[in-house]
Amino acid sequence: MIAYTRTPRPDAARELGVELVDLPMLLAESDAVTLHVPLESSTRHLIGEPELRAMKSSAILINTARGAVVNQEAMIRAINEEWIAGVALDVFDIEPLPEDNPLRALDRTRVLMTPHSMSNTPAGRRGTQREVVDKILNAANGTRPRTAVNPQAWA
């Protein structure tokens, strides 16, 4: 298995039996490329036309990160012009995916699309509920929430 990361940890990679490579090598050598990055200015359209063209024509792209990590227009061309074999997506630029989005018109034998609902399980819901209650109790007891959306309100 090979991997590319912007923050390499060679010891962890070795422990997992993963060879760290640069992005061009990962794209050229992989049968399946999976994306696991946050959406930031540096990762917006991380995968565009040059990257898709660098992939094997038999490769598939799997995006479960954020929709805008992949340039949607380039990805549509990659499918229609057979630069790659297929894509699997559970994230989109606009969610929920509009009925008139061109992704919906692609060859369904080469495109798998599902809703982004990884935590929509009983265990996931319990974990979310437990986290919310813990944060409310911490705030009520005077502990500033670590992940506050509006930290300026704490004062």
pLDDT at 62: 98
Yes or no: say if 65 and 91 are a contact pair by the CB < 8 Å rule.
yes
pLDDT at 118: 61
Question: Of 40, 81, 95, 131, which one is the catalytic site residue?
Answer: 95
What number does CATH give the domain 31-117?
Answer: 3.40.50.720
pLDDT at 125: 79
What are the average pLDDT values for consecutive 10-residue runs of the chain, which has 155 residues? Answer: 94 95 98 95 97 98 96 98 97 91 95 80 81 86 79 78
Angle at 89 between CA 85 and CA 94, to 5 degrees: 130
Torsion of CA 147, 148, 152, 154, to 10 degrees: -100
Best CA proximity match to 43, nearest among 12, 16, 5? 5
User: Which tokens hold the place of 117?
Assistant: 């609902």
Residue 95: active-site member = yes
What is the C-alpha to C-alpha distance for residues 74 and 20, in angstroms, rounded to an integer? 26
Rg of the Cα trace of the chain?
Answer: 19
User: What are the residues whose beta carbons fall under 8 Å from the beta carbon of 87, sequence distance 6 or more?
Assistant: 60, 61, 62, 63, 75, 78, 79, 110, 111, 112
Residue 66: active-site member = yes
**Which residues make beta-bridge pairs with 63?**
35, 89
For the chain, where do the domains classified as CATH 3.40.50.720 start and end?
Answer: 31-117
Please spell the DSSP secondary structure of 74-94, one letter per residue. HHHHHHHTTSSSEEEES--SS
Tell me the whole-structure pTM to 2 decimals: 0.76
Give the three-class secondary structure for 43.
coil
